[in-house]
């Protein structure tokens, strides 16, 4: 069931790649260029919207407010906007630009990799003798060997068809940041989900509360209303995603693993996470680190080795290939 779910979870990404590759003019280089473009477009959209909001909020609200004598309110809005916007953009680009960690194997994984390679060589030898037969391949091999990278996949590692690499402790591929979310940037992603709704809600609430005053400073009511509506919509949408990922964080679960748990649930009973340490705090510390002073700063992504807690595939069944 786990293997079937992992295959289904990447079908949408594979469909997009197959769709774009079906055009005669789209070769490997063109497809790579297309992927890069689609990854960068969200960055441009986010920076453009924030820059427009900066001009509107600072030059048509905070600074004019200070100039006419409302210095306390204007100064508070000026400082709050800068703090929230900086933390949001810092978290956003930390998530987008964090390098994926190179997969390193410990002694136990090296031993397991040797066994996996032995099973693959055995299957290849059987297939060479009779290329019409289906070779029984162990499901543990299917789960722990990446056919694309031709390398061992440690526990909780998945291959991203869009990024074309294996991602340790992969959560999902996020098109809004143009990168995969996984063990290498999950702390940054959580902080983005915290700061972004705070930032957009602050701007939207301020705009709606002082609509008439802002329009007196030179902005049209329609423009202000549109920017505020977009901001509050973003805040509500990201807030819902935040609560979902807080649940995943404290239970030491990824989105992929949560989908598998839901597929295996019996009625309303959802199976417990295989990687739950038994303590919600320890699960949070696995991502944010033991130093709580660093928790709200998008630096030092702490997540340790993905095989922190193992959930081995049973070795008593086979998979036909």
**Annotated active-site residue in 174, 180, 203, 265:** 174
Angle formed by the axes of helices 28-54 and 71-97, nearest 10°: 170
Residue 60 makes CB contacts below 8 A (sequence gap 6+) with 214, 217, 218, 219
Q: Quick check: 305 and 299 in contact, CB under 8 A? A: no
Report the 10 Å Cβ neighbour count for 279: 11
Q: Which helix (H) or strand (E) holds 198?
A: helix 186-209
174 is catalytic: yes
Token representation of residue 130: 């009779």
On whether the CB atoms of residues 271 and 264 are closer than 8 A, the answer is yes
Distance, first Cα to last Cα, the chain: 16
**What is 21-32 written as a DSSP string?**
HTSTT--HHHHH
| Residues recognised as catalytic | 174
């Amino acid at each position: 069931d786990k293997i079937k779910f992992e295959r289904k979870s990447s079908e949408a990404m594979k469909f997009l790649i197959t769709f774009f590759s079906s055009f005669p003019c789209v070769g490997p280089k063109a497809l790579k260029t297309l992927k890069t473009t689609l990854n960068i477009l969200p960055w441009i959209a986010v920076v453009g919207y924030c820059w427009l909001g900066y001009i509107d909020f600072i030059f048509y609200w905070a600074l004019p407010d200070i100039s006419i004598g409302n210095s306390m309110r204007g100064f508070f809005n000026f400082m709050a906007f800068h703090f929230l916007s900086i933390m949001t953009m810092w978290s956003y680009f930390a998530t987008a630009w964090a390098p994926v960690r190179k997969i390193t194997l410990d002694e136990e994984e090296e031993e397991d990799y040797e066994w996996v390679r032995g099973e693959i060589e055995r299957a290849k030898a059987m297939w060479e003798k009779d290329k019409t037969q289906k070779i029984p391949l162990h499901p543990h091999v299917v789960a722990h060997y990446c056919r694309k990278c031709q390398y061992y996949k440690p526990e909780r590692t998945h291959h991203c068809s869009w990024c074309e690499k294996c991602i340790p402790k992969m959560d999902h591929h996020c098109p809004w940041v143009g990168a995969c979310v996984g063990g290498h940037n999950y702390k940054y992603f959580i902080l983005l989900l915290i700061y972004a709704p705070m930032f957009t809600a602050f701007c939207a609430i301020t705009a709606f509360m002082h609509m008439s005053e802002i329009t007196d400073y030179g902005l049209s009511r329609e423009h202000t209303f549109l920017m505020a509506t977009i901001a509050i919509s973003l805040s509500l949408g990201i807030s819902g995603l935040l609560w979902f990922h807080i649940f995943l964080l404290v239970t030491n679960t990824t989105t992929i693993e949560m989908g598998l748990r839901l597929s295996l649930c019996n009625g309303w009973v959802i199976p417990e996470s295989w990687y739950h340490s038994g303590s919600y705090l320890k699960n949070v510390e696995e991502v944010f680190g033991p130093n709580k002073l660093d928790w709200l700063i998008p630096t030092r992504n702490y997540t340790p080795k993905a095989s922190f807690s193992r959930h081995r595939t049973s070795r008593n069944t086979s998979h036909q290939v």
